[in-house]
């Protein structure tokens, strides 16, 4: 089994983020893969689209993957450092590997996950950074709402 | 403003847990209130009912409360110590108070939340304990799936 290229996995999450932007939503995307790179589920933040504050990108990808007996053979990929909510999901369900597009515009719990044994790869992808920088500049209120920070 | 009675708040979450049991689901319930005891949203675990692994009780209650600009004036109430996923939700969204029915059958992140400034009340409610003990004994596989523990 060859380990998949993290950049190739990130491309799927980034496509989800771009789809979220097109829909007028928070442009964060994620995908859950098996360790050999098979896609299990993909999704993007749906706060605006579904009026649902629980649908962060990682949660949406996890939901799309459906019920599984365990996650020991999976990789979570997200365009942005996961917030505490999504970091908690990764820890609780024992997802052993995390690929992060960027952690410049927001730094959540990826270092905490690494401390707890998750193999974390931060790619510092310029396109992910540009996407979030533009979104935060254009929609600061929506961004703050999405991470629970009072305006 | 009088602070609400934690036991009265827990009764709402417990009713949700009982409803979940009646539906054949994981019997964990939760509710989000304002600091003065006004109900914002209530829900229960919907893994079985909706085939949705993201719908833990606290997440369901948070979703039911809808989009809010912030959570600085809220209390999360749950029948069981919140797992890392739901603890992460409480931390990320700055929910300042947490009422827990019991932490005997499962201990998640409530102590971690207390360390991070959340006012945590553990009620050690015998009915919540009985409900979870019976569920875990009858459906160990479903319980393990719900917390990401391989059978």
Predicted complex ipTM: 0.97
Q: How many domains does chain A have?
A: 1
> What gap in Å lies between CA A142 and CA A147, rounded to an integer?
9
* DSSP string covering B44-105: E--HHHH--TT--HHHHHHHHT---S--TTEEEEEEE---HHHHHHHHHTT--EEEEEE-SS
Question: Rounded mean pLDDT of B51-64?
Answer: 98
Q: Which residue of B has its CA nearest to A58?
A: B54
* Beta carbons of B71 and A148 less than 8 Å apart: yes
* Beta carbons of A52 and B69 less than 8 Å apart: no
Question: Domain for residue A1, yes or no?
Answer: no
Domain that holds residue B12: 6-30+40-69+82-105+121-147
Question: Domain for residue A111, yes or no?
Answer: no
Q: Which residues of A touch B67 (CB under 8 A)?
A: 47, 51-53, 145
Q: How far is A47 from chain B (nearest CA, A)?
A: 8
* Beta carbons of B70 and A150 less than 8 Å apart: yes
pLDDT at A1 exceeding the cut of 80: no
Q: How far is C-alpha B79 from the geometric centre of its chain's CA atoms? A: 5
Unique residue bearing structure tokens 């992910």: A128
| Annotation marks residue B127 as catalytic | no
A3 — pLDDT class (breaks 50, 70, 90): confident
Unique residue bearing structure tokens 């931060």: A122
pTM of the model: 0.97
Question: Domain for residue A93, yes or no?
Answer: yes
- Greatest extent of chain B over all pairs of C-alpha atoms, in Å: 48
pLDDT digits (tens, 9 = 90+) for A95-129: 999 999 999 999 999 999 999 999 999 999 999 99
> What gap in Å lies between CA A16 and CA B83, rounded to an integer?
27
CATH of residue A61's domain is: 3.40.140.10
Q: Exactly one of B58, B127, B138, B145 is catalytic; which is it?
A: B58
> What gap in Å lies between CA B81 and CA B119, rounded to an integer?
14
Unique residue bearing structure tokens 């992808």: A125
> What gap in Å lies between CA A4 and CA B147, rounded to an integer?
27
Question: Domain for residue B59, yes or no?
Answer: yes
Question: Domain for residue A92, yes or no?
Answer: yes
Question: Domain for residue A88, yes or no?
Answer: yes
pLDDT digits (tens, 9 = 90+) for A41-60: 999 999 999 999 999 999 99
> What gap in Å lies between CA A46 and CA B54, rounded to an integer?
14
Unique residue bearing structure tokens 């971690």: B112
């Amino acid at each position: 089994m060859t380990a998949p290229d993290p950049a190739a996995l990130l491309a799927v999450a980034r496509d989800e983020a771009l789809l979220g932007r097109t829909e007028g939503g928070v442009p964060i995307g994620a995908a859950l893969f098996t360790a050999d790179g098979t896609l299990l589920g993909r999704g993007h933040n749906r706060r605006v689209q579904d009026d649902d504050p629980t649908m962060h990108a990682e949660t949406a990808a996890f939901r799309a993957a459906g019920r599984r007996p365990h996650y020991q053979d999976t990789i979570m990929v997200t365009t942005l450092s996961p917030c505490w909510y999504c970091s908690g999901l990764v820890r609780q369900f024992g997802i052993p590997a995390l690929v992060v597009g960027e952690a410049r515009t927001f730094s959540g719990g990826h270092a905490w996950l690494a401390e707890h044994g998750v193999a974390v790869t931060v790619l510092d992808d310029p396109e992910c950074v540009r996407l979030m920088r533009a979104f935060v500049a254009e929609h600061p209120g929506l961004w703050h709402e999405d991470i629970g920070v009072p305006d």
